[in-house]
């Protein structure tokens, strides 16, 4: 175990190597490590942010969907109501038209019946005259007996 100048050489070499490490090794690597740590931290916070944004967006989407559904329901209800109203209106219109038509038909039928009665009455008079002619075998002057015939007609009414 001899002690000699190697000791001091080693001492100096040690301090020089340590200085060299301090100057050229330690700072760049520590810088890289710190930068990477920062990058990772940034990435994580960005991911967190994106996650919360996604949650927010999802909520918004749900809200929008709900809103759309509500408005669709509203629209449908309105449309149904309108449809019902339209049908009702149409039905009323139809009923009115039918009633009108019936009235017109009844009126027309009344007139026709009247006319038929008129015609019938004319004919009855003619028939009565013809029958009387046959009975009397003798022609009755229509002009002469016009009053008589008119009376008869009146009576047949």
Does residue 5 interact with other proteins by CB under 8 A?
yes
Structure tokens at 35: 């930068």
Collapsing DSSP states into helix, strand and coil, what is residue 117?
A: helix
Q: Contact at 8 Å (CB) between 125 and 152? A: yes
User: How many CB atoms are located within 10 Å of the residue 80 CB?
Assistant: 10
Residue closer to other proteins, measured from CB, 32 or 142: 32
Residue closer to other proteins, measured from CB, 11 or 84: 11
Which region among 9-17, 74-82, 87-95, 147-155 touches other proteins (by CB under 8 A)? Answer: 9-17
Distance CA 100, CA 76 (A): 35
Sites for other proteins among residues 10-39 (CB under 8 A): 10-11, 13-15, 17-22, 24-36, 39
- Looking at residue 22, the DSSP 8-state letter turns out to be I
CB of 48 to other proteins, least distance (A): 21
Does residue 86 interact with other proteins by CB under 8 A?
no
Phi-psi sector, 137: left (phi>0), alpha (psi -120 to 50), beta: left
CB of 44 to other proteins, least distance (A): 16
Does residue 114 interact with other proteins by CB under 8 A?
no
Collapsing DSSP states into helix, strand and coil, what is residue 137?
A: coil
Distance CA 32, CA 21 (A): 16
| Site of interaction with other proteins (CB under 8 A) | 1-11, 13-15, 17-22, 24-36, 39
């Amino acid at each position: 175990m001899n002690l000699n100048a190697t000791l001091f050489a080693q001492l100096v070499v040690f301090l020089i190597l340590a200085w060299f490490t301090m100057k050229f090794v330690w700072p760049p690597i520590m810088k890289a490590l710190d930068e990477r740590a920062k990058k990772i931290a940034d990435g994580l916070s960005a991911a967190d942010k994106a996650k919360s944004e996604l949650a927010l967006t999802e909520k918004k989407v749900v809200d929008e969907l709900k809103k759309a559904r509500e408005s669709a329901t509203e629209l449908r209800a309105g449309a149904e109501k309108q449809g019902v109203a339209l049908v009702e209106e149409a039905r009323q219109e139809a009923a009115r038209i039918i009633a009108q038509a019936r009235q017109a038909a009844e009126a027309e039928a009344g007139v026709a019946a009247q006319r038929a009665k008129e015609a019938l009455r004319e004919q009855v008079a003619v028939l009565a005259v013809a029958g009387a002619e046959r009975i009397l075998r003798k022609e009755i002057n229509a002009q002469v007996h016009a009053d008589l015939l008119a009376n008869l007609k009146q009576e047949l009414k």
